[in-house]
Structure 1
Amino acid sequence: MEGIQQHRRGRPTAEQREERRERMLQRSLSVFLERGYQGATLDELARASGVTKRTIYTDYGDKAGLFAAMVDALAGGISQGPDAAGDTLTSLATRIVFRIHSDELVGLHRLVIAESPRLPELARSFYEHTDARHITALRVHLAKEHGTDAGPLAPVLFSLLLGERHRQRLLGVRGAASEAQARTIAEDALHQLGLGRALSG
């Protein structure tokens, strides 16, 4: 396997460890989506990533830690800080729609819903690393662009960004949104909240 073939003698460098961690996060996604959370064994996760189970324990603690880190990495590029160059409420809302309606995150959402009756902590972890994180980012952007009184609109805006389309995605009756469609959905949501005049971002 790639990770084993590229093994070098001695302790790996910081760069090599980071590359290994990224590979584990990327390859574990397909295992979780195919096998489910409970069905995905550490042996399968390690084999897909080209590492040993000991490496998973070392880097992430256990399967739950690996899953949380994987979800965090998938969501990480969405809710960047409000001071990032050129970032606006509109661009943030567009990213949220585009990624949350993506095949990867919809697949994980379905997985978590199926497992949540037996593993409520999995649902809490998923929510904290995705929805709660995005709502916080929206709140910051709303306050920055429309004043502190607009901050409490964040949960409502997030619900509008998911909307009926996301429910249809979960049911498998609608495909993922394109970037252009994601922006239209984001702009419509902002317009419904009376924030349409700020749609120049």
Structure 2
Amino acid sequence: MTDSSAGEAVRKRGRPTETERAQRRDEILDAAQQLFLERGYGDVSLDQIASAASVTKRTIYAYVGDKTAVFAAVVSRLNQLILIPAEHVDLEALAIRLVLTLHSDVAISLHRMVIAEALQFPDLARSFHAAGPQKYIDTLGDLIGNSAAAEQLFAVLLGEPHRRRLLGLDGPPTPAEAEAHAKAALSSLRLQG
């Protein structure tokens, strides 16, 4: 056994528990996210993800699906940082979490990758939009009761600061900056309404 594998837990035989299944799925998604960010979508194979996650390709299919599904699952994990049941969140808190998360280094890197590869992999772009932006717009729409206004709000929450992040001109916002940005976005839309 080498030093690099000495710390790895030995997987037991038999049917994994729900906790073990969730942990293995997270390991797959962690490996996939790292590879996607390092190499881009097109230059990553399921075999590489399987190797990096120390699982078989069959396990990836069983736990997540094909490569597009793996990428969608990576994007969906960002939702866990943002989306909580609507009965437990208010619009301002959601707006702040959207700004913090979507302007984060990981979200920006994933967004850049999708933009770079969207024409070659249109399913990737569709998957990214469905798993990310569309979910956020739908959630905002549920909270404010107006899908057109939700789309506007989402656009303002990203806005020029997001474009500057995509271009590498600015770093991620601090919590105070994210809060100020979110409040300004909400205020500007209230003024228009």
Q: How does the TM-score come out when normalised to structure 1?
A: 0.87
> What residue number does 1:78 align with?
82
> What residue number does 1:89 align with?
91
1:120-173 Cα offsets, whole Å, 9 max, x none, are 111011011111111111111113xxxxxx553111111110010100111111
Q: How much has 1:10 moved relative to structure 2?
A: 2.1
**Counterparts of 1:1-201 in structure 2 under 5 Å?**
1=5, 5-84=9-88, 87-143=89-145, 150-194=146-190
Question: Contact conserved, 2:36 with 2:44, CA < 8 A, in 1?
Answer: yes
Q: How much has 1:13 moved relative to structure 2?
A: 1.9
Q: How does the TM-score come out when normalised to structure 2?
A: 0.90
The AA in structure 1 aligned to 2:33 is L
Question: Contact conserved, 1:28 with 1:45, CA < 8 A, in 2?
Answer: yes
Cα distance in 2 for residues equivalent to 1:64 and 1:163? 27
Cα distance in 2 for residues equivalent to 1:156 and 1:79? 18
Q: Sequence identity, in percent?
A: 43
The AA in structure 2 aligned to 1:76 is Q
Cα distance in 2 for residues equivalent to 1:2 and 1:16? 19
Question: Contact conserved, 1:33 with 1:108, CA < 8 A, in 2?
Answer: yes
Cα distance in 1 for residues equivalent to 2:51 and 2:86? 39
| Residues 47-56 or 104-113, more deviating | 47-56
| Residues 73-82 or 170-179, more deviating | 73-82
| 1:90–1:166 CA distance, 2 compared to 1 (3 A) | same
The AA in structure 2 aligned to 1:28 is A
Cα distance in 2 for residues equivalent to 1:73 and 1:21? 11
1:102-125 Cα offsets, whole Å, 9 max, x none, are 000100000000110111111011
The AA in structure 1 aligned to 2:40 is G
| 1:105–1:3 CA distance, 2 compared to 1 (3 A) | farther
Question: Contact conserved, 1:90 with 1:187, CA < 8 A, in 2?
Answer: yes
Cα distance in 2 for residues equivalent to 1:156 and 1:2? 51
Work out the number of aligned pairs and report it.
188
Q: How much has 1:6 moved relative to structure 2?
A: 2.1
CA RMSD, 1 decimal:
1.9
